Amino acid sequence: MKILVIEDDEGTAGFIAAGLETRGHEAVVARDGREGFERATADRFDAIVLDRMLPKLDGLGVVALMRAERVSTPVLFLTNLSGIDDRVDGLEAGGDDYLVKPFAFEELMARLIALARRPTLGASTTLLAAGDLEMDLVARTVRRGGEDVVLQPREFRLLEFLLRSEGRLVTRKMLLEQVWEFHFDPQTNIVETHISRLRTKIDRGHDASLIHTVRGAGYMLRVANPAA
Amino acid sequence: MSRTRLLRTASFRLAAIYLALFAASALALGAFVYLSIRHEILADFDERIVEETDALRSAFAEGGRERLAQMLEARGASGGAFAYGLQSPDGRLIAGDLRAPAGGAADGWMEAREADSDEPPEAKPEIVRALATRLGDGSTLVVGDEQRRSEEILKGVMSAFGWAVAATVALGTAGGLWLSAQFLGRIDSMRRTAQRLMAGDWSRRIPLTRTDDDLTALARTFNRLFDRIEKLLLANKQVTADIAHDLRKPLASTLRQLEAARSVDAPPEAARAAVRAAIAEIEGVLETFNALLRIGEVEAGARRAAFRPLDLAEVAREVVEAFQPAAEVEGKAIIARLEASLPMPGDKELLVQMIANLVDNAVSHTPSGTSIEVSGEQTSQGVSLSIADDGPGVAPQDLKNIFQRFYRADMARKSPGTGLGLSLVAAIAELHGLQCSASDNRPGLRVMLTSAEENE
């Protein structure tokens, strides 16, 4: 992936760029809002990491100008501590996701991949599938190997999110935000228990497990390679 | 209270202005009444003289001077109200005792003198208002009456008015002074209370009088303001103390760990472990900062603009559903009694967090086997939501403090968490006009969120 990092703090910018490069991605760093906007319009990127507070032109301004120029590159906002309003403002201005500093690199990476792979608008699907697992979004039904799997609405939403992110890491935080709309981290392990229930339901009577735990990072729905 | 301050008070000045206006209008009324009475009395007085003169003139017409003189003598002897005089053309008094002044023998009104032989000559001769009429034979008839009586009536009216005005001024002054003293006394008690508060005695409140008037309402509003200030001051004190404890402690221990890791002879595994521990500590500190800022943001109230109508029961159901599996794994049950819809305007994201914090607390601070009940109902004031558990509960002395920042009952201090979860609950509740209270569920803890009564 080719990622534009618009961040004036050298430490954070360096941390993101180094992390991207070690994972084989390309990182372009811009140090202020105006430079960032110019680069974003001049070149094609898979995603943009955009700090809220920037010299010359702030993050909201960059996104607003970009969208006015019909640049639809997905934007991930970096906000400082707290910031309920910050997030709402960022998403309203045209941002696609947000992450509160400080963050784990894996979290940023997972979100960037999710953003870059996001299907373009209009390309709506009614059927999701992974291996022998099928999900009908219209009939709200799930089948594994031809057998019906009965899910509760929230479990359905959880599985849908995992299916849409098939083969990619999904962090606990992403699930809390997307499935439960929890923008905070409760002490109780609500994600773990829901995942384990879902796993029990869809893996029952099947040898291959579809939902995998990625240690210390999150989960991934992946069809096991038959050769492995 | 000094006399000059009393005179300077708004209510006294108001009373004085009203008093002056009232006295002026009373004087105007008095003058008008006096003048009309005087006019009436004098007109009546003159009319009676004219009537008497007419009667005498007709007597003269019938019987001539002789008959008139007889009549005058008879009337004078009977002691009637009038005084009479009949003068010959040469000025000689033919009958009666009223004499027109010298040379004043003309017709018309005049001031005549009574030539009364009974009175001593040195006595001031009585002056009467008289009507002189020239008769057919050249003689002059004078009919008069003592004006003293009507003057006495007018004098009486005057003095009555004088007393009335004096009494008005006196009563008005006394009343004005008394009213402003009352008013000033209450203002003074407010001022004194405010001064005591400023001096640091934050428990002071303005004493409320039994009368329920504007000043009492003002005093009540001030007292509520003082309550709020006191609460903020206490919270501030608490935060200062707890920042010292909750933030300085982890930072200091992080510093120690990192210093130990830096030392040359530290084994690599130990150094790594120290760094790991330091990271965990710092994460905790950041979490605390985050929570504090979030509370601050909620308390500032900016989110109120984003309120939408929603169903609190629906929000609660979603939260319960999210926590149920995790609770079951830990051997706890969450029971939802949320059949009634609880409509209210609100910020869904914040309300989710509010209920989630309460349920999260109930799940993570209770032993296995606990059952947690989330129930809602409509009340006359709006909505009521209760989150109750039958766990060990909170000591009675801690109940009223658990919504304070960093406050953690002894038990909870050992368990993880920032100690800010319930403060955030309280802040979100207040933003939504909900009253937050904790009580003993016998056994366990019950937290109630109820629509507060409308403030006046």
ipTM: 0.81
Q: Are residues A99 and A141 in the same domain?
A: no
Q: Are strands B343-346 and B371-378 parallel, antiparallel or unpaired?
A: unpaired
Q: Are residues A107 and A131 in the same domain?
A: no
Domain B231-300 -> CATH class: mainly alpha
Options 3.30.1360.100, 3.30.565.10, 3.40.50.1820, 3.30.70.100; CATH of B304-451: 3.30.565.10
pLDDT at B414: 46
Of A89, A116, A143, the position where a domain reaches its end is A116
pLDDT at B65: 81
Q: Are residues A154 and A82 in the same domain?
A: no
**Closest residue, chain A, to B347 (C-alpha):** A84
Of A81, A181, A190, the CB nearest to B326: A190
| Domain count for chain A | 2
- The CATH number for A213's domain is 1.10.10.10
Q: Is B356 on the interface with A (CB under 8 A)?
A: yes
Task: State whether A180 and B417 contact (CB < 8 Å).
Answer: no
Task: State whether A188 and B363 contact (CB < 8 Å).
Answer: yes
Q: Report chain A residues whose CB lies below 8 A from the CB of B334.
A: none
Domain B8-151 -> CATH class: alpha beta
Q: Are residues A28 and A110 in the same domain?
A: yes
Q: Is B327 on the interface with A (CB under 8 A)?
A: yes
User: What value does the mean pLDDT take over residues B285-294?
Assistant: 78
Contacts of B388 (CB under 8 A, 6+ apart): B372, B373, B375, B441, B444, B445, B446, B447
Task: State whether A184 and B356 contact (CB < 8 Å).
Answer: yes
Q: Report chain A residues whose CB lies below 8 A from the CB of B325.
A: 190, 193-194, 196-197
Q: Are residues A86 and A188 in the same domain?
A: no
3-state SS track over A78-104 = EECCCCHHHHHHHHHHCCCEEEECCCC
Mean pLDDT of chain B, nearest integer: 81
pLDDT at B454: 55
Candidates B53, B111, B109; CA nearest to B84 is: B53
Q: Is B320 on the interface with A (CB under 8 A)?
A: no
Q: Are residues A100 and A182 in the same domain?
A: no
Percent of chain A residues past pLDDT 70, beyond the cut:
94
pLDDT at B158: 85
Q: List where CATH 1.10.287 sits in chain B.
A: 231-300
pLDDT at A122: 53
Q: Residue A76: pLDDT band by 50, 70, 90 thresholds?
A: very high
More confident site: B94 or B36: B36
Percent of chain B residues past pLDDT 90, beyond the cut:
12
More confident site: B3 or A217: A217
Round to whole Å and give the CA distance between B126 and B131: 16
The partner residues of A26 in beta bridges, in order of sequence, read: A2
Q: Are residues A80 and A145 in the same domain?
A: no
Of B303, B321, B352, the CB nearest to A154: B321
Q: Is B348 on the interface with A (CB under 8 A)?
A: yes
Residue A121 lies in a domain: no
DSSP codes joined into one string, A151-178: --HHHHHHHHHHHHTTTS-EEHHHHIII
- Our separate counts of H helices and E strands in chain A read 8, 12
Residue A153 lies in a domain: yes
CB burial of residue B136 (10 Å; 0-12, 13-18, 19+): exposed
Q: List where CATH 3.30.450.20 sits in chain B.
A: 8-151
Full residue range of the structural domain in which residue A64 is found: 2-116
Handedness of CA B116, B121, B123, B129 (dihedral sign): positive
User: What value does the mean pLDDT take over residues A3-30?
Assistant: 92
Residue A122 lies in a domain: no
Of A82, A186, A187, the CB nearest to B293: A82
Q: Are residues A36 and A61 in the same domain?
A: yes
Q: Are residues A13 and A89 in the same domain?
A: yes
Q: Is B349 on the interface with A (CB under 8 A)?
A: yes
Q: Return the C-alpha torsion angle B405, B439, A187, B304, nearest 10.
A: -60
Q: Are residues A132 and A94 in the same domain?
A: no
Q: Are residues A7 and A106 in the same domain?
A: yes
pLDDT at A18: 93
pLDDT at A22: 93
More confident site: B252 or B120: B252
Candidate from A139-153, A212-226, B289-303 with smallest mean pLDDT? B289-303
Q: Residue B416: pLDDT band by 50, 70, 90 thresholds?
A: low
User: What value does the mean pLDDT take over residues B342-370?
Assistant: 90
* Contact of B419 with B402, CB cutoff 8 Å: no
Round to whole Å and give the CA distance between B89 and B87: 6
- The CATH number for A100's domain is 3.40.50.2300
pLDDT at B456: 38
Q: Are residues A72 and A169 in the same domain?
A: no
List, as ranges, residues 45-84 from A with C-beta within 8 Å of B.
Answer: 81-84
* Contact of B344 with B451, CB cutoff 8 Å: yes
Q: Is A176 on the interface with B (CB under 8 A)?
A: no
Distance of CA A146 to the CA centre of its chain: 30
Of A71, A86, A116, the position where a domain reaches its end is A116
Is it the case that residue B334 has pLDDT exceeding 90?
yes
Of A116, A142, A168, the position where a domain reaches its end is A116
